[in-house]
Amino acid sequence: MSAGIKLVAKPGEVEFPKGMEGMISRESTKSFVNGAEGFLCYNGIPIQQLAENSTFEEVCYLLMYDALPKETELAAFNQRLLQYREIPDFTYETIYGMPAYTTHPMAALRTAVSTLSLFDESSEEDTPSALERAGINLIAKLPTIVAAVARSRQGLEPVHPRADMPLATNFLYMYTGEEPSPLYAKVMDIILLLHADHGCNASTFTAIAATSSLSDMYSSVVAGICSLKGPLHGGANERVMRMLNEIGTVDNAEPYILNAIARKKKIMGFGHRVYKAYDPRAAILHGYAKDVTRQAGTEKWLQMAEIIERVMIDKLGKKGIYPNVDFFSGTVMASMGIDPSLFTPIFAMGRVPGWVSHILEQRADNRIYRPRFIYTGPMDVDYVPMDER
């Protein structure tokens, strides 16, 4: 028993932070979130600067190696991503062998990613170089998997990756079968970049807890996907679109939200466990939403969203409830023609470099995670034979 810690107690007798809220799990150089001030940076660089000047591939490098790449370094990194884009035939067969209408897209993603390790001869090697290579392999292949999952759900043949497009552009090409407009390609790159890392969130913690037992890179990333699948983590942007469709019209937006507030109903896309100010990622996507909805002819969704935002901030802003990244990402992706069921797999596609980077960081100074429970069950209970129960 740990000295000074009561590990056997009555229910509610010992106070502790549920969900490990605010507890420190390890040191990290990857990203920092200041929720009180609405600040996010990757390796010290504010997210606004990265969104304006960087690319998803460059951010992947930054998170993995703690520095912006030189031109030759980025070219070499991009080449590695390009060579790993295609997925095994077995992975395609696995995706297309799933029941298209009953399989949750995140379940499909989880299963498909698991197959990748079967075709990586060094997947069980516990060396920094093998782990790094597996991580790059996953970053490169997740867009191909997500696009294949999307097309299989529509009864369409897969579109194989090309080597002449950036990652985000290539994803949209594989998803639709057509080259995307420059605006849509840029916005998809921004969406992935904004989701690349976000401190010690549930899925990242799950991934590093898995790798702390020296489990392989693929298993650890699958663990992250499993955590992200939960509706309290991923999927909020999908529910934003359900809410907008339920509201239906611009004129109905304000009365709908006022009624929901009066009934203390949770409004999708608002509030965050860390942010008590405006999520900077939401502000960035709000700007792009204007151009995307104009090009797509879906201005109605943005008008509704802006009314909801105004009412929510007016009524609940003092309580620290502001839009989060999900509020505008759903509107943007739906306007680009992406089915809402694919929003969370796209979230995973963007977050995988964060998971990989934290896994590598954990393994460089590893100690297996072994927290404790407070036992609140009975003690000294004798076994009762079956015929006496």
Which of 197, 216, 279, 326 is catalytic? The answer is 326
Instruction: Round the CA-based radius of gyration of the chain to a whole number and report it.
Output: 22
Of the candidates 214, 169, 176, 162, the one whose C-alpha atom is nearest the C-alpha of residue 192 is 169
Q: Which residue type sits at 20?
A: M
Exposure of 374 by Cβ count < 10 A (0-12 exposed, 13-18 middle, 19+ buried)?
middle
Q: State the Cα–Cα distance between residues 46 and 34, nearest whole angstrom.
A: 11
Say how far apart CA 308 and CA 254 lie, in whole Å.
6
Using alpha carbons, list the distances in angstroms from residue 16 to 66, 136, 138, 201: 34, 38, 37, 19
Choosing from 160, 233, 291, 339, which is the catalytic residue?
Answer: 233
Residue 332, helix vs strand vs coil = helix
CA separation for the pair 368, 122 (Å, rounded): 22
Residue of 189, 197, 216, 272 with catalytic role: 272
How many other C-beta atoms are found inside a 10 Å radius of the C-beta of residue 114? 16
> CA–CA distance from 257 to each of 86, 118, 266, 313, 326 (Å)?
45, 49, 10, 11, 17
Determine whether 272 is an active site residue.
yes
Per the CB < 8 A criterion, the answer to whether 341 and 102 are in contact is no
206 phi/psi in degrees, rounded to 5: -60, -40
Torsion angle, alpha carbons of 68, 69, 71, 72, to 10: 170
Task: Let me know if 326 is a catalytic residue.
Answer: yes
Q: Are 240 and 301 in contact (CB under 8 A)?
A: no
Q: Kindly list the catalytic residues.
A: 233, 272, 326
